[in-house]
Amino acid sequence: MTSIASAASGRDGSMDAPFSTGTHAPAFAVPEGACDCHMHLFDNASPYAGPDVLKHQDATPQDYRALQRRLGTSRNVVVQPSSYGLDNRVLVAGLKALGDSARGVAVVDLTATASQLRDLEDAGVVGVRFNLVQAGATHERMLEDVAELIRPFGWHIQIHAHAATLIGLADRLARLQVPVVIDHYARLNVSPELRPSLEDSVFRLLSTGCAWLKLSAPYIASPQSTGYEDLESFAQRLSAMYPDRLVWGTDWPHVTEGGHKPDDAVLMGLLSRWFSADEITRILVDNPRALYGFDI
């Protein structure tokens, strides 16, 4: 993969990063060992899964390192985008380039063999994703069977779903016997009429001790908001009840946002609006260490 952009440090200490608006660091002290738990890589030399999938310019490990330098993070989780379906080659190549500071979340179906799963594990994969929003490679009928397939590896299932789907799946997810990670603030405000039921489902899952929530891509969770004030009460409840079940991610390179990329430092700064310094350390360092097996 060839980088289409490189970071450049400005005279005022600012730094540019590809596919991210803004040039400055977050407005709070980012703790050592901080992890970005949701980002993607793209390589247009690799075939897309179909004509209608989300597409993006090349977004390489070198490009992403520039964002890490700007944000002050040192660990990351590469998530297989729905764009490549079951073809995890871009993910695996990215994990090799990023090294031990990275973990991966792949996409598999029931055709995956134990040998293929071991190869993914050796590359740094620790979970599999069900994207039920940009549907294609995975569907909800596979949940239990895929959970059984990955359980011997100690992996988790990450799920991106519409509100009605997540509400309907909550009981099944709670019974999977593998950890479950919910994407993108559970898309909390996309269907406002379902928000009370969706919140109840999320908190019920978190109460099991086997579920986690990603504080990632607030623009997906609250598409009509600019300051994300409509996530504040939800974040306050999370802070009061389940700070040990939260992780954070950028969603870089923000493929859903086209040419209007957000400022990742501003999005990261939401943490300091809603959580204490000790909670931020849990969200950025301690919780990812436990969920993704860093330092093990």
Catalytic status, residue 251: yes
Under a CB-based contact definition with an 8 Å cutoff, are residues 180 and 210 in contact?
yes
Q: 257 in helix, strand or coil?
A: helix
Q: How many residues does the chain have?
A: 296
Catalytic annotation, pick one of 251, 278, 286, 295: 251
Query: Looking at the DSSP assignment, which residues form a beta bridge with residue 77?
Result: 103
Other CB atoms within 10 A of residue 50 CB: 11
Residue (of 136, 146, 183, 142) closest to 161 by Cα position = 183
Distance CA 216, CA 112 (A): 28
Under a CB-based contact definition with an 8 Å cutoff, are residues 67 and 17 in contact?
yes
- DSSP H/E element including 213: strand 211-216
Sort residue 33 into left (φ over 0), alpha (ψ -120 to 50) or beta: left
**Token output for 133:** 């929003």
Under a CB-based contact definition with an 8 Å cutoff, are residues 21 and 263 in contact?
yes
Residues annotated as catalytic (active site), given as ranges: 251
